[in-house]
Amino acid sequence: MAKNTTVFVCSNCGEEFIRWQGQCSNCQEWNSLKEFTIRPHSVPRSGTSRGNQPISLQLSLLKDVKPSTDFKRAETGLFEFDRVFGGGIVPGSIILIGGDPGIGKSTLLLQVAEKIPGTVYLSAEESLEQIKLRADRIGLKGLFSAVAASEIGQMLDTLEVEKTKLLIVDSIQTVYHPDFPSSPGSIVQVRECAMRLQQFAKSSRVPVILVGHVTKEGTVAGPRTLEHLVDLVAYLEGDPYRNFRILRCVKNRFGATDEIGVFAMTEKGLVEIKNPSSLFLSERREAAGSVVTCTTTGTRPFLVEVQALTTKTAFGYPKRSANGFDLNRLNLIAAVLDERAGINLADQDIYINVVGGVKLKEPAADLAVAMAIASARSNRPLEPSVCIFGEIGLSGEIRKVSHASAREQEVKRLGYTLAPAASTVGELIKRLILKN
């Protein structure tokens, strides 16, 4: 009779070792190895079946493989949700959605379940009564099946695959596999349960959506293999004290990444915002240091407000702080303004804030940040109807950006005007800020 196997698993990266050691040789983390006992499995030997008959594998040329003729994405009817997923949910795909506690992950997926007939909602965190109360609160009819369980094998055995069109598991950190005697949420349990669900999705062509808890760093808790084995990773973000939420895609095997969907949290659940520019600019007022820029996520342009504040530093080394903008990029822009545009920032603390919780990652936001800093430093506001975007080089030149025509159309559609043409950031500052 086979004996149980003892392994040591790193709680930080999920690497396995046959004996304990003080430091994980994979991620270099100290005291992260935890002991786990794994029961033996009746797994056939490599290359043989259970009847000890050789398994014949067939190799095919990729050009001869014929795609499935019934491939069709399942549309939820929530335009912002489908946009992030590339037009809908792909059959047989496995999706991971993460987010902070209370951000609205379960609420959003309940609304998705209501939109797709044949959805099964598996909850390991709440009872059926709790799910019913939430559904009634946001006005859902509850036209989908729900199960409250935490054992992964029992959950999958109760499914009628022929009638199931979508499987939602809330959450992957609270389900467990009985063959692995460790607590739910551990490295081994998260990995093995996700593998079981992946095999189910690929064999039955039933798409599976997993809800994942996030760590204090903002990433999905558990081993990184969890994000590698799924087809799509999305995060629901936003300030829990404000009513808007952003669904952001960071990995998508069936579509574009970096797409976002914008929602507003209301008493009736998450309501999609089809014109996010109106949301991000709704409370803007004319003031020094305020600039409107046009950013793109994927193929979607929208307008956001960039705010800057400069104050005389109380210490010998000026402080730089950015919310929604890369701090290293801010230091670069400040250096260019000081050396190329004649804006003295050596004794100034600089604070940058992108309103609405939007994160500006593309270099097209450089020029807007630079103009906001120059406006705040001189205490002169820009024209409120001007929209600015462009990349800044180290010599102070203004460079072209991608999707320029789409940005220009969005700017004109919302009634804003483009900044006048200029070759350098210093020239643009003189035209828009120092004109008086």
Structure-token pair, residue 395: 């010599």
Q: Which amino acid is at 61?
A: L
Q: Which amino acid is at 309?
A: L
- If one counts every other C-beta atom within 10 angstroms of the C-beta of residue 43, the result is 7
Among 224, 249, 227, CA closest to 236: 249
Task: Please check the confidence at residue 41 and state whether its pLDDT lies above 70.
Answer: no
Rounded distance, CA 354 to CA 327, Å?
A: 13
pLDDT recorded at residue 58: 80
* Per-residue pLDDT tens digits for 330-348: 999 999 999 999 999 999 9
Whether 207 contacts 91, CB under 8 Å: yes
Q: What is the mean pLDDT of the chain?
A: 86
Number of H helices and E strands in the chain, helices first, is: 11, 20
Whether 10 contacts 33, CB under 8 Å: yes
Beta strands in 70-179 (DSSP E): 94-99, 119-123, 145-148, 166-170
pLDDT recorded at residue 108: 95
Q: Which of the pair, 274 or 288, is modelled with greater confidence? A: 288
Q: Average pLDDT, stretch 387-400? A: 95
Confidence bin at 242 (pLDDT 50/70/90): confident
CATH topology match: 79-274 vs 278-432 = no
Burial code (b: 16+ CB inside 10 Å, e: under 16) for 380-392 equals ebbeeebbbbbbb
278-432 CATH pick, 3.30.230.10, 3.40.190.10, 2.60.40.180, 3.40.50.150: 3.30.230.10
79-274 CATH pick, 3.30.43.10, 3.40.50.1980, 3.10.580.10, 3.40.50.300: 3.40.50.300
Confidence bin at 396 (pLDDT 50/70/90): very high
Q: Average pLDDT, stretch 373-400? A: 95
Whether 379 contacts 409, CB under 8 Å: no
pLDDT recorded at residue 163: 87
Q: Calculate helix-pair angle for 128-137, 105-115, nearest 10 degrees.
A: 80
* Per-residue pLDDT tens digits for 63-87: 888 877 667 888 998 999 998 998 8
DSSP 424: B
DSSP 221: S
Helix (H) or strand (E) holding 432, with range, is: helix 425-432
Among 243, 364, 245, 356, CA closest to 297: 364
Q: Which of the pair, 242 or 192, is modelled with greater confidence? A: 192
Q: Average pLDDT, stretch 24-36? A: 83
Helix or strand or coil: residue 137? helix
- Using CA atoms, how far residue 107 sits from 10, 83, 162, 266, in Å, is 33, 18, 26, 11
Q: Average pLDDT, stretch 14-40? A: 81
* Per-residue pLDDT tens digits for 184-232: 877 778 888 999 999 999 999 999 999 987 765 556 655 567 888 899 9
Task: Please check the confidence at residue 436 and state whether its pLDDT lies above 80.
Answer: no
The reported pTM is 0.73
Cis peptide before 42 (omega within 30 of 0): no
pLDDT recorded at residue 92: 92
Structural domain spans, the chain: 5-38, 79-274, 278-432
